[in-house]
Chains A and B, each alone.
Chain A
Amino acid sequence: MVSWRLVPFLAAALVLAPVGVIVSSFFAPASDIWQHLVETTLPLLLTNTLWLALGVIVGTAFLGISLAWFTAVYEFPGRSFFSWALLLPLAMPAYVTAFVALGLFDFTGPIQTTLRSWSNADLSWFPDIRSRLGVIIVMTLAFYPYVYLLARNAFLSQGKRSLEVAQSLGLTRQQGFFRVVLPMARPWIAGGVMLVLMETLADFGTVAVFNYNTFTTAIYKAWFSMFSLHAASQLASLLIIIVFVVVVLEQQFRLRMRYAENKRSQRAQRIRLIGWHNWLVVGFIMSVLFFAFLLPVTQLCIWAIQSFTQDFDVARYLEFLWHSLSLSGLAAFFTCLVVIAMVYAVRRYPSPTTRYAVRAATIGYALPGTVLAIGVYVPIAWLDGQLSEFFLQWLQIETGQLIQGTLITMLIAYLIRFMAVSFYPIDGTMQRITHSIDEAAMSLGLHGWAMIRKVHVPILKSGIFTATTLVFVDVMKEMPITLMTRPFGWDTLAVRIFEMTSEGQWEQAALPAVTLVLAGLVPIVLFMRQTEK
């Protein structure tokens, strides 16, 4: 058996290989492009990126935490439905939410058009959706489920008990929430927010729809428009460094704390909301659900029906669907397995080096998709070249590509990208297993696998479900890596969306997008409803 100690280092090495490819160009000369950027667009790009990141963090934290708190601690009509329905927006790719939002609220959309036809009046008061606030709102609606899901896990496992203790010590409910409950849920919330931050920084599709230029836009521009992969890599390296600093800081904070579990079976009674409070909470949840899910899905369905006759081939769509589902399933399984091994390794050998190795392994999520895709592809192509050289030289066999163009490449690439997504939920639950739990188990004669099966798995289960769902849905929405590494003919729903949108046919993309959203609901309903029971 492989020594567990090595797992985090192997995983980190896997991630650092593509990062290395990117960073290695840091010292290559591309100074003219840098100077050009500094003189022209860079200041605006940086402010744009900063505001976007801040706005989306604040937005998702607010929505995620408040929704998680309501559904975890209070009782109100429809609570158990809402608690998993609030995850539905997870299935919406952010770029899809974005183009639907523009389609609806922009100057040419039905709302402004109708208003114009009524009043014929000046509509300059109508807020411009193609604005900084517009991007922030769309991204917040698309990304809040990360925070919601993780915060909810935290609240469910500690929530009301600690609130009761706080209240018994004389704090009001509100004080208790801010001074006890929230700090105790910190690693989960921080994990969710980290995911949101990484996703926001790496995003290209959503900001492109808004023509809102960020740091990532500059990376793509240097690469695709100015043909300088060097300059693009240098910009991407900067991004990596910034994210790494944030990750390390978060790790530093976390080291000083310990978090213990409160058994879920002993969960306290929910607080029943009374009177108009019910409707306030339900109204709030409904409006989030409406804007983040119902409205975009309805609009997509309308477009899908309109383009249905032109582009529908049952056999092909079933094939896309099967590819999407099987790839996402494989990747989710594979990624979670590696992350569980990694998290255990840290538990067994908690040295600072191991911890940093683990955190390094999560950095892949912060890189713009195409940049990471090529970073992954270069070492694999190199290895493949060496292999085929070897076969040709020593065995006289012309093998062609061995690793590229197989699902293995895809799975490795997905692993590199999505380790962060499964790390935060699984690590969060792992924090709940204190060493005294282990000691108690051992004193009862449980060791090794028996202890893992009987003690750890039941506690970790919710984290693993969360992680599997997140990776599953994320892989399904993923575009650049899928495009670059897919074997011939392995087109997925996301590939289909790409085909449509790359020629500006947004409405035509609605059919694959709706299918993608529906397919994404499968794991959400499957896993999340299970954790609700």
Chain B
Amino acid sequence: MSRFNLNYCLGTVLILSFWLLAYPAKAAEVVVYSARIEQLIKPMFDAFTKETGIKVKYTTDNEGALLARLQAEGKNTPADMLITADAGNLWAAAQEKLLKPVHSQVLESNIPAHLRDPHNEWFGLSIRARTLVYNTQKVKPSELSTYEDLADPKWNKRLCLRSSKKVYNQSLVAMMIADHGEAEAERVVKGWVANLATDPLSDDTRALEFVAAGKCDVTLVNTYYYGRLMKKDPNLPLAVFWPNQESGGVHVNISGAGITRYSRNEQAAIKLLEFLSSDKAQNLFADVNMEYPANPKIAADPFVAAWGSFKQNSMNLVKAGELQTTAVKLMDRAGYR
């Protein structure tokens, strides 16, 4: 039993020490809840601390869990800032009154209007473009045109899609509902489902691999997944196509942030938010994941820029949140799993 006793003592000491460590809340410190993973936020936080001396403490989790956690903690929350990897969840956080408006000249000039909340509760920090990627051996770019065109029977058994459970697809369908209305969007999604070469896949990388291996000819992915795969194997027969250039433009989502309603270090948190939108951090923020900077004055990483420039859909991303539930229901009805 001696092993157990030792364990017990150790445990007690540990628990007590962490209890004690937990509560002296320091002043010059910003606490961040982030659904954007550690590798994609830490470099910017380090740069911020280096410049201002303000420390950044963070924890990562799924968006939904972080929102629920903020809600449960209420005004007792230690969090000052919420970062997500999509707009829908920021919209939901604003709906649940978890965020507070920020009035900042810096943010308003750095971030284009369609990438931030009209009530200034959240701001996009990088752009995630959802576009078409095709197999260069099986598809001529001239065959491709729009998202909607993928519903055409000529793509029968040639399309691969990621699961409808991913928020990127939900936002995309939300955008189509905003553009064309629900009935037309449903027709398109039904067409996609009818054209599938295989059951929807669990992530974008897998979808790209299926296209490269020839199971299907074209898929719909966020560009950085394509970038990652091409960095690993530049010889893959894959290429990017920018759809809807004659019409609404490429669907973009954001990774963004807002200040929590009960933030105790609001000033420092706003400083961090402004820093993230500035030229000092924008390249870091976007390039670390091969995304596009949200600040239009900043150029994308050369590797990313080589895929060409494109017109982006300028629908305000609030719509992606507002129409998300409708989009999910629509995809369920269309049998998109």
Contacts and interface: CB of A to CB of B under 8 A. Distances in A.
Interface of A: 36-37, 40-41, 102, 106-108, 113, 130, 208-211, 213, 217, 220-221, 223-229, 326, 329-330, 333-334, 370, 373-374, 377-378, 381-382, 384-385, 388, 398-402, 404-408, 411, 480, 483-484, 486-489, 491, 495, 498-500, 502-506
B69 interface: yes
B18 A381 contact: no
A211 B7 contact: no
A493 B4 CA distance: 24
Given A226-B329, A483-B62, A503-B40, 7 more contacts: A225-B167, A225-B170, A330-B15, A333-B11, A374-B72, A491-B38, A502-B37
Contacts of A225: 165, 167, 170, 324-325, 328
Q: Specify which of B22, B58, B200 lies most central, judged by the most chain A CB atoms within 10 Å of its CB.
A: B22
B325 A503 contact: no
22 contacts: A107-B198, A108-B210, A113-B213, A211-B199, A224-B167, A326-B14, A333-B4, A333-B11, A377-B68, A381-B69, A381-B72, A382-B72, A384-B73, A399-B23, A406-B15, A406-B19, A407-B14, A480-B62, A483-B65, A502-B37, A503-B289, A504-B225
A227 B325 contact: yes
Interface stretch (B101-109, B130-138, B201-209, B293-301): B201-209
Given A211-B199, A326-B14, A330-B14, A400 B23 contact: yes
B153 interface: no
B92 interface: yes
B57 interface: yes
B7 A108 contact: no
Interface of B: 4, 7-8, 10-11, 14-15, 18-19, 22-23, 25, 31, 37-40, 57-65, 68-69, 72-76, 78, 92, 95, 163, 165, 167, 170, 198-206, 209-210, 212-213, 215, 225, 228, 289, 324-325, 328-329, 332-333, 337
Contacts of A102: 202, 206
A221 B205 contact: no
Contacts of A498: 60
Contacts of A404: 73, 76
A499 B23 contact: no
Contacts of B210: 107-108
B25 A400 contact: yes
A224 B63 contact: yes
A444 B145 CA distance: 89
A102 B325 CA distance: 30
Nearest to A207: B202
Q: SS class of chain B's interface: helix, strand, loop or mixed?
A: helix
B7 A333 contact: yes
Contact of A211 (B57, B92, B201, B212): B201
B202 A209 contact: yes
B38 A499 contact: yes
A399 B61 CA distance: 25
B213 A107 contact: yes
A374 B65 contact: yes
Given A107-B213, A107-B215, A400-B25, A40 B333 contact: yes
B202 A381 contact: no
Contacts of B165: 208, 211, 217, 220-221, 225
A157 to B, nearest CB: 22
B213 A401 contact: no
A329 B78 CA distance: 28
B98 to A, nearest CB: 12
- B60, B76, B198, B203: residue with the most chain A Cβ atoms closer than 10 Å: B76
Contacts of A411: 15
Nearest to A232: B64
A505 B231 CA distance: 13
A506 B205 CA distance: 9
Contact of A226 (B40, B212, B328): B328
Contacts of A405: 22, 78
Nearest to B92: A227
A504 B72 contact: no
B25 A377 contact: no
Given A330-B11, A506-B205, A229 B68 contact: yes
Nearest to A307: B232
A189 B187 CA distance: 51
Q: Which 7 A-B pairs have the closest CB atoms?
A: A224-B64, A504-B203, A381-B72, A40-B332, A108-B209, A483-B61, A499-B37
A36 B170 CA distance: 17
A402 B212 CA distance: 52
A459 to B, nearest CB: 15
B143 to A, nearest CB: 23
Nearest to B8: A333
B61 A402 contact: no
Contacts of A37: 332
A293 to B, nearest CB: 23
A504 B76 contact: no
A384 B19 CA distance: 13
Contacts of B15: 330, 406-408, 411
A330 B7 contact: yes
A130 to B, nearest CB: 6
Contact of B213 (A108, A400, A499): A108
B204 A504 contact: yes
A102 B48 CA distance: 40
A484 B22 CA distance: 16
B117 to A, nearest CB: 16
A388 B38 CA distance: 30
Contacts of A388: 76
Contacts of A130: 198-199
A75 B40 CA distance: 54
B209 A487 contact: no
Q: Which of the listed residues B57, B205, B329 has the most CB atoms from chain A within 10 Å of its own CB?
A: B329
Contacts of B38: 491, 499
A502 B62 contact: yes
A384 B72 CA distance: 10
A377 B73 CA distance: 9
A106 B65 CA distance: 31
Nearest to A332: B7
Contacts of B58: 488
Contacts of B225: 504
A458 to B, nearest CB: 12
Contacts of B4: 333
A208 to B, nearest CB: 6
B172 to A, nearest CB: 13
Contacts of A113: 213
Contacts of A221: 165, 328
Nearest to B20: A406
Contact of B200 (A211, A370, A381, A483): A211
Given A211-B199, A374-B69, A36 B62 contact: no
Nearest to A222: B328
A397 B123 CA distance: 35
Contacts of B61: 483-484
A488 B26 CA distance: 14
A464 B85 CA distance: 44
Given A224-B64, A374-B68, A384-B76, A499 B205 contact: no
A495 B60 contact: yes
A282 to B, nearest CB: 34
B35 to A, nearest CB: 8
A401 B76 contact: yes
Contacts of A503: 37, 40, 289
